[in-house]
Structure 1
Amino acid sequence: MANENWNLETNSELTSEAGSPVALVNAPRTAEQRVADRPAEYGDNVVPPKPTWYKTADGDDTGAGRVEPREIQLFWHSNIGEIQAHSQMPPLPPTPDAGGYNLGSRGLDHIYIAGHRVNVTGEGDVTVPGGDTDVILSGYWDRTDPVHPQWVRIQPATSYTVTVAAYNHDNVYGPESDPLTVTTPAVGYDRQHTTLPPGPVNDLQFGAPLPVITSSGGGPVILRWNKQLGVTKYEVYNNPSRETDVPMDPARPGLNVGDVKLGEIAQPAGNTQTVTTTTPNLTTPDLRLALKVRAVRTDTNGTAVGPFSTVLRSQLPPATAAPGKAGAPTLTESPVVGGQVKLTLVPPSIGPVNGAPTYYAVYDGTRKVATVSAPLGTAPHVTLAYKPSQAYSFTVVAGNSLGTGTASTALTGTTPAS
Structure 2
Amino acid sequence: MTEEFHRIRRLPPYVFAEVNKAKAAARARGEDIIDLGMGNPDSPTPPHIVQKLVETVSNPRAHGYSVSKGIPGLRRALAAYYERRFEVKLDPETEVIATLGSKEGLANLAAAITSPGDTILVPNPSYPIHQFGFIIAGASVRSIPATPDEEMLRALDRAVRHSVPKPTALIVNFPSNPTAYVADLDFYRELVAFARRHEIWIMSDLAYAEIYFGDRVPPSILQVPGAKEIAVEFTSLSKTYSMAGWRMGFAAGNPRLINALTRIKSYLDYGAFTPIQVAAVAALSGPQDCVAEMRTLYRDRRDVLIRGLHAAGWDVPSPEGSMFAWAPLPPAFREMGSVDFSKLLLKEAGVAVAPGLGFGEYGEGFVRIGLVENTQRLRQATRAIRQFMGRHGVNLPDLAGSGRRVGKEADQAADAASVI
Of structures 1 and 2, the one with the larger relative CO (CA 8 A, separation 6+) is 2
> Fold conserved (TM > 0.5)?
no
Question: Higher strand proportion, which one?
Answer: 1
Question: Higher helix proportion, which one?
Answer: 2
Q: TM-score range by the shorter chain?
A: under 0.3
State TM-score, norm by structure 1. Answer: 0.24
Of structures 1 and 2, the larger Rg is shown by 1
